[in-house]
Structure 1
Amino acid sequence: MESYSLLFSSSQGAGLLSGFQRLRSDRRMCDVVLETGGVSFPCHRALLASSSEYFWALFGESTVERLAPTVSLPALTPRGLDIILDFLYSGWLSLSPLTLPIVLETARYLQVHEAVSICDRFLNDGLSLNTCCCYANLAECHALPEALAASNQTITMEMAALLQDKREDLLELNIQSLTAVLEAEEIPGVKEAELVRLALDWLEVNGPLPLVRSNLLLSRLRFGLVTPSDLAILSHAHPAMATPLMRSHVTRALEYHGQGAARPIRQSRQTTLRSSANHVLLVGGGVNPDSPDQEVLTFDLKNRKWSSLAPNLPRLLKNHCVCCVGGFLFVIGGEEVVGGTEEGGKTLTTTTTNQVWRYDPRFACWEEVESMLETRAQFTCCVVDDVIYAIGGQHPRADTHTSMASVEFYNMTAGVWRRATPLPRPLYGHASAVLGQALFVSGGIPGHQGCHQGGSRGDQRGSSKELLFLDLGVGGKTWETRAPMSIARFRHHMATVAGSIYALLGMYEPFCDIERYDSLADHWTRLRPLLIGSFSYGLAVTASGTLLLFGGRKWMDGQEVTVKSVLEYDREKDRWKEICQLPRPLCGSECTLLALPN
């Protein structure tokens, strides 16, 4: 067989189109005229049929139009047909936000799929505050799923600005897009009452709709995020809210608001903020460990930006505990610091408290809930299955502070604190962690050794290495001992990450040691020490398992100083690095993750 070579010319295709374009411009060899809106377009059947499935079928062997000199296309506009014909003859598609609708309509009608794809990309690339609603309608009308999803996402992120400046665009939005937006887990900067008003206004403009469709739309709203007073108004704002389904939604929302102490454990999608647990809250603490601030700092994990929670913490607290249940922040016990004046100078007094404060980010308000059975400071708290446990600590007695073995838990259904299995011995300055349904408590100073105010390093001799274990899954009747830590710790932190428990730093460890506990092997492993570490720091564990250490105090030039550093721990590399700094030096803060409105 004779050999041969097959060579390709990249210019042949472009030259072919150029030749056809010249013939069309000169109106030579044109064998069909397309007509719409009184405008005629001489064309070539062969090129049209090879570029468009519509024309391929139109000029088929058995159609009337196969040899017709003129073909009328009344469904198209002259402008749209002109642009598509230019594309077929040149490969260049002229698009702008104004011409996109007619070009896309013409391309879909004539089944010019490449032109539709180009319109799809143009639509995605051109999404903005001004175009997102219009483009969402185009994408929905012409069945462009990727462009529709991108448009809906832009509407969701720009909703606050759209409500203020482009409300008319929102009222013209197709129902599929509006439903998808109201389904979103995050709608930054918008209160739920505003979304309810938008949906009702949309129904007023675009209704009446079949009952099923209006119910489907309104069911995407989260009525539990609307205040009872607003609910009373909005529930009568439109006939669509009078259906049995909508009345049941409003009734459940009002019942939720009336739950009082039980609200954190009565969460549903209707009461959940449109936000993830995206902020670390730094509660209490200050530049001086004895002079805490009421400001609660918030750290946005995504943007690494700082802001302040509003309103401020109701009390000046130190040696307290914080935790999060059901999207609510709880601030528990500690020492309340009260400032006064005496002979022209400022004096501070502290009182150990059993008060519990709850912050609801849905409505940005603090509320005092049931107080603990005992006053506590330098204790620890943790959450198991939405139950808060307060463990050990100190309370005042006569002229000193006495360490405690008592444990109590908060029953949110009844709104009361109840006693639990006490520790084997009094303990304060300890740390706790939760793994499954088990409580782990480590370190601290046992016994009745009086008040500890953080003096010399010699106090370390009273610290403990002990690790205690209480299995709540089998009733939690007896505390057991597990393998002790490799070093005694006091006022340290523990954190559970990826099935392991980490014990970090502390007040008197000379080398800032870190170790990891394997509960299955009952074994501790020493990790690389944080040589620039600190004490009285805040610790948070992100949803991805990252450990973050905020501020604290360290020794510098023979004295304690408060620092601004924010450190992140890389568990894979066993390494810490500074990722940013606090707005100001800070020590004594307690940290937790909380979802806040964006």
Structure 2
Amino acid sequence: LSAPESEGLMCDILLKVKENEFPAHKSLLACSSDYFRAMFKSYTKESKASVIHLQVISSMGLQHILDFIYTSWLPLSFESLEDTLEAASYLQVTEAIGLCNQYIVNNLTLENCCFSANVATKFYLPDALAATEKYIISNLWRLLDLDFTGLLELNFRSLMAVVESDVSKVNESCLLNLVMMWLKHDKSRLTLRSSLLEQIRYGLIPVEDLRKVYTQSEVPLPDRLQHHNMCVIGNFLYVLGGEIESSQSETKTDPSFSVTSGVHRYDPRFNKWAQITGMLEKRCQFSCCVLGNNIFAIGGRGENGSLHSSVEVYNITRDRWTKVVELPCKIHGHASTVCKNTIYLSGGKSTEQTNTSKDVYSLTTVEGILCTGTVHICCIKTLC
């Protein structure tokens, strides 16, 4: 049957993939493919068409499937496997899919097993997937030396199968290192970290190895800052406001700075900085402290030397800044601390002063303002 197709004899349909044309016979296509069988039924528009455009599959994949339809022989190699499976799946040629499945099972090697697992997962070939995962688990100790890059490209399901199994000749330290490297290889995988890391048996890993895995190199802030503030909540480091070095500075010896409202958070688990919702006002030389799940940003200096008396609060659960009751005066360069759910402010300079202030302010959970002498008690209700 290959001669009529290759010579275009008595062909009644032309299949087109981009610029490539493939003459064929509707009757043979309909007998071999559920896709074409449905397409060429009498009530469809395509049944009257002389040309069918196939946009999804590749020319190579279609050629292989046509060869199989006309000769019952399917040319397969690992280089063309994905194209062939894509065409067979799209055109619903189930016999060709079965042959691809068997080809993977019968031709597994150290060089192609990770690729085969990904292909089997992508096209849902359960027999091939089970065989490839069993092969990877049995030969993991070899793959860690020979094809570590292939392991980093392995799909999540297959890696989970590896981590969950009792892998011989591979210690738990190597498994942990593999998981950490796999997560770092693609940032989108970080959402899967809990599922993988829960499978590691940390009790079997020497303390020295754990320290090596979790010891991170220094990661600089995204911007150069001065006169900023910092605090810690839930083992996350927050860096708030400050003056950021301008990229348009004329000289490195005398850089220019501008006040920022930006906030960055450092995650020690992944050794990375992330920018989060910024403050409502630009601030430097201000104070910040933590009360419950809230970060208080208090006073400080804004743009063009203007001073702030405002206080704003960041709720980490809601990822939102809110302004609360202001201080009695504008102040910057002060210090703050927390004691028994009360924030105490001391020192700094206000608009009326040339010397450092000796006033003390306290922010508590009671609403109202009370001023007595040189001691100001400013009470602000804590946000939930």
TM-score between the two structures when normalised by the length of structure 2 = 0.55
The structure-2 alpha-carbon separation of the partners of 1:210 and 1:230, relative to structure 1 and needing over 3 Å to count, comes to closer
1:22, distance to aligned residue in structure 2 (A): 2.7
Q: d(CA) in 2 for partners of 1:178 and 1:52? A: 34
Alignment partner for residue 214 of structure 1, among 193, 196, 200? 193
Partner of 2:175: 195
| Partners of 1:236 and 1:242 within 8 A in 2 | no
Aligned-pair distance for 1:25?
2.7
* Paired letter, 2:213: L
Percent identity for Structure 1 against Structure 2: 37
Higher relative contact order structure (alpha carbons within 8 Å, sequence separation ≥ 6):
1
Counterpart amino acid of residue 125 in structure 2: L
Q: What secondary structure, in the 3-state scheme, does the structure 1 residue paired with 2:188 have?
A: coil
1:288-313 CA distance string (max 9 Å, x none)? xxxxxxxxxxxxxxxxxxxxxxxxxx
Distance in 1, Cα, partners of 2:169 & 2:201: 15
**Structure 1 residue 35 displacement after superposition:** 0.5
Structure 2: which 5+ runs fail to align? Answer: 218-265, 271-384
* Separation of aligned partners in 1, 2:75 and 2:268: 46
**Post-superposition shift, 1:109?**
1.0
How far apart, in 2, do the equivalents of 1:152 and 1:37 lie? Answer: 37
- Separation in 2 of the partners of 1:161 and 1:144? 25
Q: Name the structure 2 match of 1:97.
A: 78
Q: Is the partner of 1:40 in helix, strand or coil?
A: strand
Alpha carbons of 1:188 and 1:240: their partners in 2 closer, same or farther (altered >3 Å)? farther
With over 3 angstroms needed to count, the CA separation of the structure-2 counterparts of 1:106 and 1:33, relative to structure 1, is: same
Question: Which protein is richer in helix relative to its size?
Answer: 2
Which residue number in structure 2 is paired with residue 160 of structure 1?
A: 141
Could you tell me which of 59, 65, 69 is aligned with 2:46?
65
Mapping for residues 534-549 of structure 1, pairs under 5 Å: none
Cα deviation for residue 61 of structure 1 reads 2.6
RMSD: 1.9
Residue 54 in structure 1 maps to residue 54 in structure 2? no
The offset of 1:140, in angstroms, is 0.3
Counterpart-to-counterpart distance in 1, 2:211 and 2:151: 25
Whole-angstrom distance in 2 between the partners of 1:36 and 1:76: 7
Deviation at 1:240, TM superposition (A): 8.9
| Aligned 8 A contact 1:136 1:148 in 2 | yes
- State the secondary structure of the residue aligned to 1:33: strand
Structure 1 segment 185-584 matched on structure 2, within 5 A: 185=166, 187-209=167-189, 211=191, 213-236=192-215, 242=269
Give the match's secondary structure for 1:188. Answer: coil
Question: In 2 relative to 1, CA 240–87 (structure 1 residues): closer, same or farther, beyond 3 Å?
Answer: farther
Instruction: For residue 234 of structure 1, report the CA deviation from its aligned partner.
Output: 2.4
Partner of 2:349: none
Q: CA deviation at 1:241?
A: 8.3
Contact 2:15 2:24 in 1 (8 A): yes
Q: Which amino acid aligns with 2:177?
A: R
Question: Is it true that 1:43 corresponds to 2:21 in the alignment?
Answer: no
Q: State which of 63, 69, 75 in structure 1 corresponds to 2:56.
A: 75
TM-score by length of 1: 0.36
Amino acid paired to 2:202: F
1:23-42 equivalences in 2 (<5 Å): 23-42=4-23
TM-superposed CA distance for 1:237, in Å, is 5.1
Evaluate the alpha carbon distance shift between residue 240 and residue 123 of structure 1 in structure 2; reply closer, same or farther with a 3 A threshold. Answer: farther
Letter in 2 for 1:162: L
Does 2:92 match 1:111? yes
Cα separation, 1, equivalents of 2:214 and 2:7: 68
CA distance in 1, matches of 2:190, 2:149: 23
Q: CA deviation at 1:210?
A: 5.6
The question of 1:136 aligning with 2:117 is answered: yes
Q: 4+ residue stretches of structure 1 with deviation over 4 A?
A: 236-241
The 8 Å contact of residues 59 and 65 in structure 1, kept in 2 or not, is answered as yes
Deviation at 1:182, TM superposition (A): 0.5
Would you tell me which structure has more strand in proportion to its own residues? 1
SS in 1 for 2:84: helix
| Alpha-carbon separation, structure 1, partners of 2:214 and 2:198 | 13
| Aligned counterpart, 2:362 | none
Partner of 1:145: 126
**Contact 1:214/1:240 (CA < 8 Å) preserved in 2?**
no
Q: Which amino acid letter does the alignment assign opposite residue 220 of structure 1?
A: Q
Distance 1:175 1:240 in 2: 23
Give unmatched runs, 5+ long, in structure 1. Answer: 1-17, 244-598
- Cα offsets for 1:336-378 (capped at 9, x unmatched): xxxxxxxxxxxxxxxxxxxxxxxxxxxxxxxxxxxxxxxxxxx
Aligned residue-pair number: 222
Maintained 8 Å contact 2:183/2:190: no
Residue identity opposite 1:53 in structure 2: D
